Each structure stands twice: as structure tokens, then as C-alpha cells.
Chain A
Amino acid sequence: MATKDVPYVTLSQSTRLKKLFEQIRYAILNNKAGLFGFVLLSLIVVMSVIAPVVFPLDTVSDPSKILQAPSSEHILGTDHLGRDIWKQIANGGRELLMLSLVTASIGVFLGLALGAFSAVIGGIFDSVMVFLADVWLSIPRLPLLVVFSGFFRLDSLTLAIILGILSWAGLYRTIRSEVLSLKQRDFIEAATMQDLSTSHIVFREISPNLIGFIAVNFTLLMRAAIYAQVGLFFLGILPLEQNWGVMINQAWTQGVIYNPNSILFILAPTIMISILIISLVWVGKALEDVFNPALRN
């Protein structure tokens, strides 16, 4: 009954959200790769959630069990300190997932806000922003972070935030062109004529129409964030915590990589990162298919 008392609720987010979920459901169920990617991603998420309880990390090292080959007790063998590798694998995804979520959220918000405002306002602001985005995109990101690490002590949360801020430019460009085409539509013109504020137009009128677009770019940004983070973990620039990137770094710096017995120490996290990234790409592709029907084959 509440909807009848306040008739505008039906026009607001609630129906759009319902539509969004419907579309996501369609995307996932009607695309084999998308379904597979979604299942893989859910498995990783579930594993990350239950791992601390079901597979608690070995906190003490056991010198009698260093670099063992896989056995029934340690299904993936042990590392250079005699700790179980499977437990590390099970626990290693959580941090990467959370950090990449932080990065992607910041990046998407910045890209959306700047891109939409820039397209709506236009004029000199727009030209300057386009110019700045072009300049920004030609600064190499990974080397820049490496250089930063020479000046500041980066921890992984700071890095996730910096990465999010650094990645505004790519999304800015795509959002801007998308909004430029949206701007021609009648409802934006109507909003402008009602003299609604720019921020109302950007966040209330334009953003909901871009939601599919945003969902797709969110997965892309997460992927880029994981790439950069794992890269920096591997280079040993970030403090060593418990995740797959650090595992690769450990295996590499301890020279384990040249010990054929414990090849899984480096191979397992490599495969897990690949699976995570591939599943993100597949989910992103499936979402793209739904929100951009022109791409459907």
C-alpha cells in the first residue's frame, strides 16, 4: 500500500534495482562462460569466508617438514617453513578480493562522477579534463607505484586506495562518451528545463542509466587491481601478508622455484590468481552481453 501513498517510489531506484537483478540473473543463466565464471567466483568467495574456520593457517613453522611433496596429510605439500600450502591457498584470496573491491569502488566512483560531470557541464572544464585524462593515461602505472614505494611506506590498503585514485582516467573517458550520448535523450533535457541541479542530474538521472555499464567496468577494474597488487606483492614492495601474491614472492625469493619437489608452492597461487581473473573476465563479459545487446551474437 505504501507504494500507492507515495507514487514516485515506483519510478525510483527500487524498480530499477529489481530490473538490474533480473538482468544479472539473465546474464548469468544464459551465458555458459558467464555461469561458469560466476560459479568459480562464488567458490572463491565462499572459500575465503570459511577458510579461517575450516582451514586455519599454520602459525608455527615445523623444521622437520620443510618443502615436502604433496602427501595425504598435506595435499599440496609444505612450504619453506614447513607450513601447509593448501591452507595458505584457501586463506590467500580474501585479502586480494577485498582490496580489489576497494580499488574498484573508488575508481568507479571517481570515473563516474568526473565523467558524468564533465560531459554535463561541458565547455572548458570538459576540454581540460579530457586533456588531463590523456596525459594521465600515458604515465606508466606500475613503475609509478614502484617509484612511490621508494618515498613512502605503502601498505596494502593505502595501495588499494591509491590504485583506485590512479585509475580514474580510463573509466572517465568511457563514461564521458556514454553520458554524451545519454545527454541527447529527452529526460535529461526535461531535467535541465526543470532547473534541477547538476549533481541531481548526474547522480539521479544519469547514473542509474549507466548501471550496467558500471557493473561491467567494475569487474574490469577489479581485474586491473589484482594485476597491479599481485605484481607489487611479487616484487616484494608491499608488506608481506597472507595472500597468493605473497606466496609467489616467497616461493621466488626462497629459491623454491628451482626445487622440482615443491613446484606446487609457486604453481598453486599462480593458478588461483589466473582462475580469479578469468572468472572476473567471464562475469564481466556476460554482464556486457546483457547490457549491450548489440554485442550479442
Chain B
Amino acid sequence: MKLKQTIKYMSLRLLKMVFTVLLVTTIIFFLIRLMPSNPVQRFIDEQMTQFGLTYDEALTRATFLFSMDLDQPVFQQYLEYIGNVARLDFGNSLLSPGVSVMEIIAARLPWTLFTVGTGLVISFILGVVIGAIMAFKRDKWYEPIVTGFASFLSAIPDFLIAIFFLLVFGVIRWNGESTIMPIRLMRGTYSMNVTPGWNFAFIQNIFLHGLIPILTYMFAQLGIWILLMKGATISCLKADYVTMANIRGLRPGKVLSSYIARNAMLPIVTEFAMRLGFIVGGSLIIEQLFVYQGIGLELLRATSGRDYPLMQGVFLIMTITIVLCNFLAELFYVVLDPRIKSKA
């Protein structure tokens, strides 16, 4: 019975996931194909006027680049488009002809996931530990300072933190001679003189290049984890089962790990998976600031260059990342909290 309910609960979530991706795909399709003066039409016109192609030639070219069969009725095209997206085939980039959108994404996405993921994991561990400590030391003098700092950090937009780091590490010459870090050499994902692969020099290099983005993601998220963990722990401290565990004379460490931590972590772990997705979506400003070639910078490049296939591909991948992370969050919740199964 329980298993059946779990399956029902999860399949509903799966349905939602598919529907989200479908909705986004549909919006993008109609933007590209059906808007007056849509990109496909504009592309065909441009090819005809600039390169002197005939309409048929331009149409063939557009068909290839957008991977849409433009002779068919729109609905047919829509179905085909959905089919292509399901196979993760977004056509070819307009700006770099001959390169498929998926190749570009595959080259860029890992870097964003690397910086966002590393920053988020560090901030999560630090934040949970500090938050739990603060929940127990509420009478200490430093508690208001830490909590205040945490709420300050959580309120400030992440790109302002990024600008601040940029100024502190890369622009201001503290001793009058040089900056703390050679910020101009730290642009990009890795230096030219290292060979990509599992060697020490390369790994050291990518961490050096990703250092300030990682620091930014870390500080931007740290405050939220501290506040969440502190709140969750405090509300758990008051729960009956914790009082009961204390009355039963269990060791404080045991109460902390098995009774408080597990329950307090519950909402936070789900939040973690959800945030991972959203920061991938929000990474574009930070990547622009540090000229870090991740997926966000690619989206900006595609937008300013009117590279529609690349643009829609990147946006869809971002949505899919978020949706997958949300799904993972739900999955975590079911695994961690046995109560949810009976509610579904």
C-alpha cells in the first residue's frame, strides 16, 4: 500500500516535470516561429538580401540551421520540434555555423555546474554547522552579530557581492603596488598553458580561475543556510520528541544527531536541491562580471548575437536543470521523511 502511494506521488511529480519542459518548449517555439517578423522569417529575408540567395535556397538553409521543416504546416512543425527537443537536438548555432547547439552547451554547462556546485556545497556545510551552533548559543554575545551578518548576506543581491569581491581582490591596490590577485589573468575557465585532464596542474588551474565565482556563490548563499538551519533547529528544540528524548536520559550527542539534526535538515536538504537549479539560472550576471565561460555567459552571447537556436537551447537546458533539481528535491524529501508517503 505504502509503495503504491509513493509511486503515485512520484509519478505526479514526473508529470509536472514533463509538463514544465513542454510548456517552455511551446513558448519558445511560438516566439521563434509564429511571432510577426519572427527570427526564421528574418533569417530568410536577411539571407536573400545580403547574400543574394533565392527564396528556396534561403529556406533550405533556414531549415537546416533551425532544424525545422519549414514546408510543413505549423502544427506538424511543432510536433517535430518537440520530438527534436526530446532528443536534445536543438539544431545548429547561427553564429558559429556547423557547430551544433548541444556541443556548445556540453562544453559550457560543466563549468557553471562546477562553480555553482562547489560554492553551494561549501556554503551549505558551513551554513548548516554555523546555524546549528547559533541555535544552541542564543544567549551568547556573538549570536546577534552572526545572525545579523547572515541576514545581511542573504538580502544583498549576489552580483553586488561579486562586484565587491572584484574590487577588493582585483582593483584596489592595498599596498600601493599590486592587487591581491591578478584578476585579468584569472578570466576564463582555465589558462592556455595547461592541458585539460586529470592532472594536478589543470585541477589547480581551474580552481584558481573559478576561485572568485565560487567565493561569490558561497557568500551569497551562506546567510540563507545559517538562517534556515538556525530556525529549523530552534523549532526542533521545542518539539515534544526532543523533550521526551532528553527525559529518557539519552546522551546530548545522540539527541542532537538522531532527533534534532535529522528533522531540522529535512526542509534544508530540499531547499539545497532547489537552489542549485535556480543559481544555474541566475549565474549569468556573475559569469559576465568575471568573464567566466559558463552557460550563463553563453546565453548572453547568444542573445546579443541573435543566435536563436543557441538561445533556446541554453534556456531549455537551464529549465531542465531546474526541473531536475526540483524533482531531486522531492525525491530527497520522500526518502528522508517517511511521513510524506502517507500524505500523498
Q: Are B23 and A135 in contact (CB under 8 A)?
A: yes
Q: Mark B272-292, 1 if CB is under 8 A from A, else 0.
A: 000001101110110011000
Question: Which residues of B in the span 14-33 have a Cβ within 8 Å of any Cβ on A?
Answer: 16, 19-20, 23-24, 28, 31
- Give the size category of B's interface with A: 35 or more
Q: Are B20 and A135 in contact (CB under 8 A)?
A: yes
A140 and B281 in contact (CB under 8 A), knowing A150-B308, A227-B157?
yes
Q: Are A273 and B157 in contact (CB under 8 A)?
A: yes
Chain A, Cβ-Cβ closest to B179? A260
Indicate the member of B16, B159, B166 with the most A CB atoms within 10 Å.
B159
Asked if A70 CB lies within 8 Å of chain B CBs, one says no
Question: Which residues of A in the span 185-223 have a Cβ within 8 Å of any Cβ on B?
Answer: 223
Query: B322's contact among A138, A231, A257, A258, by CB below 8 Å, is which?
Result: A138
Cβ contacts under 8 Å, A270 to chain B: 160, 163-164
Cβ contacts under 8 Å, A119 to chain B: none
Q: Are A231 and B281 in contact (CB under 8 A)?
A: no
Cβ contacts under 8 Å, B326 to chain A: 138
Q: Are A151 and B35 in contact (CB under 8 A)?
A: yes
Cβ contacts under 8 Å, A149 to chain B: 303
Q: Are B173 and A260 in contact (CB under 8 A)?
A: yes
Q: Are A135 and B319 in contact (CB under 8 A)?
A: no
Cβ contacts under 8 Å, A285 to chain B: 151
Question: Which residues of B in the span 151-208 have a Cβ within 8 Å of any Cβ on A?
Answer: 151-152, 155-157, 159-160, 163-164, 166-167, 170-173, 184
Query: B152's contact among A143, A223, A278, by CB below 8 Å, is which?
Result: A278
A235 and B23 in contact (CB under 8 A), knowing A146-B300, A274-B160?
no
Asked if B262 CB lies within 8 Å of chain A CBs, one says no
Query: B278's contact among A140, A147, A258, A281, by CB below 8 Å, is which?
Result: A140
Q: Are A140 and B318 in contact (CB under 8 A)?
A: yes
Known: A140-B277, A142-B285, A260-B172. 6 other contacts (CB 8 A): A131-B19, A142-B284, A143-B284, A260-B173, A277-B156, A277-B157
Q: Which A residues fall within an 8 A CB radius of B? A: 131, 134-135, 138-144, 146-147, 149-151, 223, 227, 230-231, 234-235, 237, 248, 252, 257-258, 260, 263, 266-267, 270, 273-274, 277-278, 281, 285
Chain A to chain B contacts (Cβ below 8 Å), 17 pairs = A138-B322, A139-B23, A140-B281, A141-B281, A143-B318, A147-B299, A150-B302, A150-B311, A151-B31, A223-B155, A230-B157, A231-B159, A231-B285, A234-B159, A267-B167, A278-B152, A278-B156
